[in-house]
Chains A and B, each alone.
Chain A
Amino acid sequence: MRIQIVMSLVGKLLYIFGAFLLIPFIYSIIFETAYWSFAVTATISGLAGFLLVTNGHQSKSFSLRDGFLVVASTWLSTILLGSIPFMISGILINPVDALFEASSGLTATGATVIYDVDQAPKTFILWRGLMHWIGGMGIIVLILSFLRNLGADAAHFFNAEASVPKPGVVLPRIQSMASKLWSLYVVFTIICFIMLWLGGIDPFNALNYAFSIIATGGLTPTTAGTFIYSDNIYICVVFILFMIIAGGNFAVYYNVIHKGFSALISDFETRMYWLVLALGILITFIALCIQSEATHIGKLFQDAAFTLVSIQTGSGFAVADYDLWPAAAQMMLFISSFFGGCSGSTTGGVKIIRLIILIKSSIIYLRKSIHPDMVQVVRINGKPLPDKWIRMTQQFIFLYFMIYVISVFFMTCFGLSTSDALQIVTAFQSNVGLAFANYGPTDTFSILPDGAKIIAIIDMLLGRLELFTILVMLHPQFWEGYFIKKDMTKRYTVL
């Protein structure tokens, strides 16, 4: 069966995920009482991996749909496995809650159903942070850098996890690119950790925050979260700085190492990303100034900058209760939550590059209505963009909002008010993890009905994998031929 090729690879990925599950277990043995739930889950992961590998068939030749299937099934199984420790240990007895927490962690959304984080064992806090960190850059990208010799078709996995037009291939081999991206990711995390530590946050919390910031996650290691730093300018600046970095394109950062900072400045998407952030901050700040007495201008600006960056990059930290802000400022936050960061970043949402492509192609469309025979192409960084990408982007936006509308409808079916539904679906689909009113910065999602939580889990996953990877599997033809019995060992491969 062709499915065996996929099974073999997913099995190997589960070995590695099992190894990650041992990290919180080891932590618990050293610093707390041993939480065997992690050891059990690690065993399950290893066992499942073993079964898949032994029944699977190792191959170096993957088709595109194999790529989609590997990525989707890896994400689904890691979410499942990630939730098991919560259930076994009784931290979250309701399986839906446990799954919600795990998907929020792995998709770097940062929504939580744990009401009082301070009461939870630190091992589980670490696990949440770790899930953020693994899922932030992408499980597949991570694992690609571990597994060697996947062959040329490894690009399929890379593309299935983030289907954004890539700015010029940085490295010839997709696997060396994956490991370079991850090493950058690790370096940023370490720097962020050290800077937070120097700012007076204790090492455990600093590490968790570092995981959360670089992954643009949003889960916090304490119940009070980032609110306690609202008067600490140093911590706020470190947060803002690293959230902005995490929202940029890591492939461009890699270019910076070789070509200097001009690589950053010359990248059109990066420039637009900064511009959009700056405008958003300015508008939010002005809206805030108009409402309140202008006594703490500096503090208002700090709040506006922190909150907007946090929402747009899909992080979801809060230093101010923006539910009390004027409607215009709230709306600015809501709109920017759709934008997201750059392609090749850890953020969710539509992403700046897609906005650029759509705006440029809309302008062309308008010009074409005056000059019907006009020929014009969308150019990014001076290079023409193939029509294929433009059509894909248009489709993406349509699907994005179709899924948005359908999810909102289902949310209201489970008893949510329309405004709540509109806001929280954005929070999930763009992987922000923070909404308004009942689900605002001071609340959790524990009061959501179970049905709504399931919708939320689906939205988070769709948002993280940028729709196509999951949606493509809904087509019956996708599965055609996967289960036809055939001796895989006799299969002829060109390689």
Chain B
Amino acid sequence: MKIIVVGAGKVGYSLCERLVQDDHDVYLIDRSQERIHNLENMLDVSLVCGNGSDIQLLNEIGMSDVGIFIAVTDSDEVNMLSCAVAKIAGVPSTVARVRDTNIAENMDDTMKARLGVDLFINPEMVTAQELLHIIETPSALDVEEFGQGSVRLIEFKINSTFPLINKPLKELTFPEGVLLVGILRLGEMIIPHGESILLPNDSVFFLGLKDGVDAVEQQWFSNHAAFHKRAIIIGAGLLGRNLAVLLEKSGFTVKVIEKDIERCEALAAQVDKAIIINGDGTDFDLLEAEEVADNDVIIALTDDDKLNLLVALVGKHMGIPKTVVRVGRPEYIMLMEQVGIDIVFSPRLMTAGQILRIVRSGEGVVSISTFEGGKAESIEILITDQSPVAGKQLKDIRLPGKALVGVILRGDEAIVPRGNTEILVGDHIVLFTLPESVTKLLNYLT
């Protein structure tokens, strides 16, 4: 598919990288000659220097066969305008990154349609919502939901005292309706089979019905008794503020430490109960005075990767059970996880992932989530009558690449498939797979 991306910032770059992986023809437009120049040898895309709202420029690229138009510059207004122009030029689907929550929330569908923006994405808000899911499940490293929340995928960390280590999976029994779909070992994703064993420091992925997955958590990973819904956030940028508001709404006791007084005041205008401290998050005295050690989770969200790591390590040292760190450079993710940070995430990868889902959703894909910085993905696919698997039993299906069928959503019902389960037209199937297999899988299934 021909795709136009406007804005060659961090998000634009990561997005193009992923789109190229998926075999799309990408045109990346940016106003800055310098930025275009810098990207020349790094991306296999057509780089265009100019204004994304300029109709002449767009016509030169040729708009008739463009499948999707994505505007991710720093400016909400530029993004919306570019989409509007692209829509007039005949692009069927437009996506604008808009970070001002009010703009998108206060607009209904007809207004969006008239404006020419099909989809607003607010990365800071979506990221905050994903973080909220993870923080709310204390023992989980990641949580994803499918089928309006009836199906869950949760990632856990295995420690050396875990009772089921060093045993082949075929000897283990998990609660009804739950599959162990992936093992992440030393940065390598393994799709498990009967002979696989669990080792300390593995991350494991369970996919299944919500009750079953929650039972797994209760049985082997839970520390709910020690969980008092107390969170501390370092850094009140847009993401920090969104997260603080969401956490407060879900009943957390929230404390926020931020150096910049204006950011403090911006947050103070949004919350009632949260305690906002104007101070330095690396100041030990301040952290002790604010009784940081009593929190269940520390979330470091400043713009400085090194500072985030340091603060999280200090928190870990003080005894906070769960540490969450934001990194700007995705290459740090593995490094930080190795020194003991529980959850490391890169907002720009998350944003790129969110947009990728939208790009793919045109092809019968309902939703896509990525894990561990793109090491594994889960896909929810709608089965149409053209699909070769429709009407077949699961044991007769040979999926290309590495993949596991976790759950089948049929109407309001969620089914955990067995070998003789038949896949019907209209089913949504949730697959757990590796990124390199995604394109092959999608081509096969749809």
Contact = CB atoms under 8 A, between A and B. Distances in A.
A234 B234 CA distance: 61
A373 B278 contact: yes
A181 B105 CA distance: 33
Contacts of B275: 367, 371, 374, 376
A377 B278 contact: no
Nearest to B279: A373
B269 interface: yes
B265 A377 contact: yes
B224 to A, nearest CB: 28
B272 interface: yes
Interface string B288-303: 0010000000000000
Nearest to A370: B275
Interface residues of B, number: 14
B269 A379 contact: yes
Interface in A358-410: 367, 371, 373-377, 379, 383-384
A373 B268 contact: no
A195 to B, nearest CB: 40
B290 A375 contact: no
A374 B277 contact: yes
Contacts of A371: 275, 277, 290
Contacts of B269: 377, 379, 383-384
A373 B290 CA distance: 10
Contacts of A376: 268, 275-276
A384 B268 CA distance: 8
A277 B272 CA distance: 25
A379 B265 contact: no
Contacts of B261: 375
A384 B266 CA distance: 9
Nearest to A376: B268
A260 B267 CA distance: 31
Contacts of A383: 269
B39 interface: no
Contacts, number: 32
A367 B273 CA distance: 10
A271 to B, nearest CB: 16
B113 interface: no
A38 B277 CA distance: 65
A371 B257 CA distance: 11
B184 interface: no
A372 to B, nearest CB: 8
A377 B262 CA distance: 12
Interface string A414-439: 00000000000000000000000000
B106 to A, nearest CB: 14
B272 A375 contact: no
Nearest to B258: A375
B264 interface: yes
Contacts of A367: 275
Contacts of A375: 261, 264-265, 267-268, 276-278
B286 interface: yes
Q: Name B's interface SS.
A: mixed
A383 B268 CA distance: 10
Nearest to A377: B268
Contacts of B268: 375-377, 384
A374 B278 contact: yes
A362 to B, nearest CB: 15
Nearest to A383: B269
A367 B275 CA distance: 9
Contacts of B267: 375
A126 to B, nearest CB: 50
A430 B272 CA distance: 32
A403 to B, nearest CB: 33
Contacts of A379: 269, 272
A115 to B, nearest CB: 53
A188 B212 CA distance: 62
Contacts of B278: 373-375
A367 B279 CA distance: 16
B88 to A, nearest CB: 34
A367, A375, A377 pick with most chain B CB within 10 angstroms: A375
B269 to A, nearest CB: 4
A286 B61 CA distance: 80
Contact of B277 (A373, A377, A384): A373
Nearest to B276: A375
A384 B271 CA distance: 10
Nearest to A375: B264
* Residue picked from A373, A383, A384, most chain B C-beta under 10 Å: A373
A194 B261 CA distance: 57
A300 to B, nearest CB: 39
A350 B274 CA distance: 30
Interface string A121-141: 000000000000000000000
A369 to B, nearest CB: 13
A374 B286 CA distance: 11
B182 to A, nearest CB: 43
A379 B265 CA distance: 12
A373 B269 CA distance: 16
A377 B272 CA distance: 8
Interface in B227-285: 261, 264-265, 267-269, 272, 275-279
Contacts of A384: 265, 268-269
Interface in B35-62: none
B286 A373 contact: yes
Interface centre among B275, B286, B290 (most CB of A within 10 A): B275
A27 B16 CA distance: 84
Nearest to A364: B268
A367 B253 CA distance: 14
A376 B272 CA distance: 8
A376 B274 CA distance: 9
A363 to B, nearest CB: 10
A373 B279 CA distance: 7
Nearest to A378: B268
A384 B264 CA distance: 13
Interface string A440-461: 0000000000000000000000
A374 B258 CA distance: 10
A393 to B, nearest CB: 18
Contacts of B279: 373
A129 B267 CA distance: 50
Contacts of A373: 277-279, 286
B272 A374 contact: no
Contacts of A377: 265, 268-269
A319 to B, nearest CB: 41
Which of A367, A377, A379 counts the most chain B CB atoms within 10 A? A377
Interface string B120-155: 000000000000000000000000000000000000
A359 to B, nearest CB: 13
A373 B256 CA distance: 11
Nearest to B255: A371
Nearest to A367: B275
Nearest to B236: A375
A178 to B, nearest CB: 30
Contacts of B272: 379
B83 to A, nearest CB: 30
A373 to B, nearest CB: 5
Interface in B103-121: none
Interface of A: 367, 371, 373-377, 379, 383-384
18 contacts: A371-B275, A371-B277, A373-B277, A374-B276, A374-B277, A374-B278, A375-B261, A375-B264, A375-B265, A375-B267, A375-B278, A376-B268, A376-B275, A377-B265, A379-B269, A383-B269, A384-B265, A384-B268
Given A379-B269, A379-B272, A383-B269, 11 more contacts: A371-B277, A374-B275, A374-B276, A375-B264, A375-B265, A375-B268, A375-B277, A376-B268, A376-B275, A376-B276, A377-B268
Interface of B: 261, 264-265, 267-269, 272, 275-279, 286, 290
State the 9 A-B residue pairs at the shortest beta-carbon distance, nearest first. Answer: A375-B264, A384-B269, A377-B268, A375-B276, A373-B279, A373-B278, A373-B277, A375-B278, A375-B268
